[in-house]
Amino acid sequence: MSNKDELKLKGHLDRETYSQINFSQKEKERVLVNVTSAKKRRKSKMPLVKKLALNAAAAIVLVGMGTFVYQEVQKNQEAVVDQPENSDEEALARDEAEDGPKPDIDKDVPDTTADGSSGPTDDKAWEDRTITEKFSTPNDPKNANEFIAQNNEIYQQPLPEQYADDPMHYYGIGASSLYYWLETTYKVEGTAIEKDFRNLKNLAAIVVLEEKERYAHLGLVNENPYDYKDQWKEPSDRMEQAHEYLKDLLNEINVAINEDGKGETKGYSYMLDGEKVKELQEFIGTDEEIKAMEIIED
Amino acid sequence: MKEFNASEKQGALSREETLVQLMDSYGDLVKKLAYTYVKDIDLAEDIAQDVFIKCYDHLHLFKEKSSYKTWIYRITVNRSKDVLKSNAYKRILPFKKVASHSKEKTTELTVIDNSNRNVVTNSLMTLPSKYREILFLFYYEELKLREISEVTSLKEATVKTRLSRGKQLLKKELERRRFEL
């Protein structure tokens, strides 16, 4: 193999395209902004760590005090029990008094609050828990609302012409994107919304996995499957169905969180009390089945 | 390209200054290399930025066993391959475009999109990535086989074979497009 560039590749590439590709000043600035803001974030995390440590210490002290108080109460009660002259009425009163503080100490606090013992909870209430540190560019959607709105918009658009021969490949790409971002970045908290997001992510996972099945028979190792696109199998029915559900659910989540519940729906969303959530759940199967499969390769 | 000499300067420069020097020296080539893999200028830009952020984060781990150049190329190759294999690559396609990135889509994109005139570029881009990377690194970046082996984590013999095969495929593709060398 001669080292000589007999194809004059470098010259041709530069003339045609590559001389125009440059890492601009703005791009350099973006990198610098990114590294300096990351540095600031790291610094600003220190007081938070301290705060957490203080909170933990305070919690330990309070628990310690609580235990001490409880033990003292117990001791006093034992002392009272030991007194033979106590009447039944007094004993009853004592039992009632005894029953009072006990649950406060023994109860499983998270369960009680999760049950909403202080009043009826709104299972549609939700909060955005987007992990902003995961943004790859300043233009990424800022929160779950924006993320859902953007993706819904994409899914509502007509299929790009270049994918006309294989629409499911296009939607496989979309599902992969959705899965990645839902897994890593866009998080929510709330009873119904979490179920919807989980279902959305699992549907995306099914689409991605079914797409992988399209080239699994090629047995590629460390090779880009797109180089062998012409040898892929046709998409499975499950992939197509998962895509349909995904598209509908995405729209319904958008209706729920961005459109005040106004819009056309088919009944797959918990946020909108959809009538077909059971059907969707049965299609998806269990989370464990989905989790067991490797979605993200890197 | 003015190569960044680590041993001369590293001690005297802050991390930020070193990063700026690295971006000045290798920014264009990193972006070109990434573009050769992913064939998308937006994503190449993202990769290049990721690469330098990673460099910055790992500057203290850089041991001068290799040059900065091969170290950065290696990071670029790995990052580009990760992107190709995983979701990020798929993100860039129509799905990412809706995110309306305010990238600098000026001459750069116009030229790249002007596909009719870019016979050699388009021919190179049709080759499987395993050949494309080697051809680019060898002929464009002018790395030696040993350096390509280091950058790509392939054996030198494999690099050599792929270079030869890649060249044949490229020639064939250029002939098919009736391009006269």
Classify residue A232 by its DSSP letter: P
Note whether A275 and A149 are same-domain residues: yes
Note whether A89 and A41 are same-domain residues: yes
- Whether residue B49 and residue A174 make contact (CB cut-off 8 A), yes or no, is no
Q: Does any domain span residue A298?
A: no
- Whether residue B129 and residue A227 make contact (CB cut-off 8 A), yes or no, is yes
Domains along chain B? 1-105 (1.10.1740.10), 114-176 (1.10.10.10)
E-only strand ranges, chain A: 127-128, 188-189
- Our measurement of the distance from residue B89's CA atom to the centroid of its chain's CA atoms, rounded to an integer in Å, reads 14
Note whether A109 and A132 are same-domain residues: no
pLDDT bracket for residue A289 (50, 70, 90): low
Report the C-alpha gap between B68 and B64 in whole angstroms.
8
Instruction: For residue B33, give how far its alpha carbon lies from the nearest alpha carbon of chain A (Å).
Output: 10
Q: Is the pLDDT of residue B94 over 70?
A: no
Report the C-alpha gap between B95 and B92 in whole angstroms.
6
Domain final residue pick, A83, A114, A145? A114
pTM above 0.80, yes or no: no
Q: Does any domain span residue A14?
A: no
Buried b or exposed e, range A128-154, using 16+ CB within 10 angstroms = bebeeeeebbeebbeebbbbbbbbbeb
Note whether A284 and A144 are same-domain residues: yes
Count of positions (residues) in chain A: 298
Which domain, by its residues, includes A100?
Answer: 25-114
Q: Is the pLDDT of residue A87 over 80?
A: no
Q: Does any domain span residue A83?
A: yes
Identify the CA nearest to A13 among candidates B57, B176, B170: B170
Instruction: For residue B66, give how far its alpha carbon lies from the nearest alpha carbon of chain A (Å).
Output: 22
Note whether A73 and A134 are same-domain residues: no
**List of chain A residues whose C-beta atoms are within 8 Å of the C-beta of residue B118:** 16-17
Q: Does any domain span residue A61?
A: yes
The mean predicted confidence, pLDDT, of chain B is: 78
Residue-wise DSSP of A109-150: HHHHHHTTTTS---TT--EE---GGG-SSTTS-SSHHHHHHH
**List of chain A residues whose C-beta atoms are within 8 Å of the C-beta of residue B88:** 136, 180
**List of chain B residues whose C-beta atoms are within 8 Å of the C-beta of residue A223:** 128, 130
> For the segment A233-253, what is each residue's pLDDT rounded down to a tens digit?
999 999 999 999 999 999 999
Taking a C-beta distance cutoff of 8 angstroms, is the pair A73, A101 a contact?
Answer: yes
Report the C-alpha gap between A220 and A213 in whole angstroms.
12
Note whether A106 and A136 are same-domain residues: no
Of A31, A139, A180, the CB nearest to B53: A31
Domain final residue pick, A93, A114, A135? A114
Assign A189 to helix, strand or coil. Answer: strand
- Whether residue A18 and residue B32 make contact (CB cut-off 8 A), yes or no, is yes
Lowest average pLDDT, out of A117-126, A168-177, A246-255, B82-91, goes to B82-91
- Whether residue A34 and residue B53 make contact (CB cut-off 8 A), yes or no, is yes
Q: Does any domain span residue A6?
A: no
* Number of domains present in the structure of chain A: 2
Please tell me the predicted confidence (pLDDT) of residue A99.
41
> For the segment B125-151, what is each residue's pLDDT rounded down to a tens digit?
888 888 999 999 999 999 999 999 999
- Whether residue A1 and residue B164 make contact (CB cut-off 8 A), yes or no, is yes
Note whether A152 and A270 are same-domain residues: yes
Report the C-alpha gap between A141 and A152 in whole angstroms.
13
pLDDT bracket for residue A288 (50, 70, 90): low
- Whether residue A180 and residue B91 make contact (CB cut-off 8 A), yes or no, is yes
Tell me the sheet residues that pair with B114: none
Q: Does any domain span residue A37?
A: yes
- Whether residue B48 and residue A27 make contact (CB cut-off 8 A), yes or no, is yes
Note whether A146 and A59 are same-domain residues: no
- The phi, psi pair for B30, rounded to 5°, reads -60, -45
Note whether A181 and A66 are same-domain residues: no
Q: Does any domain span residue A100?
A: yes
Note whether A247 and A160 are same-domain residues: yes
Give the residue carrying structure tokens 């209706």.
Answer: A255
Q: Does residue A87 or residue A202 have the better pLDDT?
A: A202
**Residues near A3 by beta carbon (within 8 Å), at least 6 away in sequence:** B138
Note whether A244 and A146 are same-domain residues: yes
Please tell me the predicted confidence (pLDDT) of residue A235.
94
Note whether A144 and A285 are same-domain residues: yes
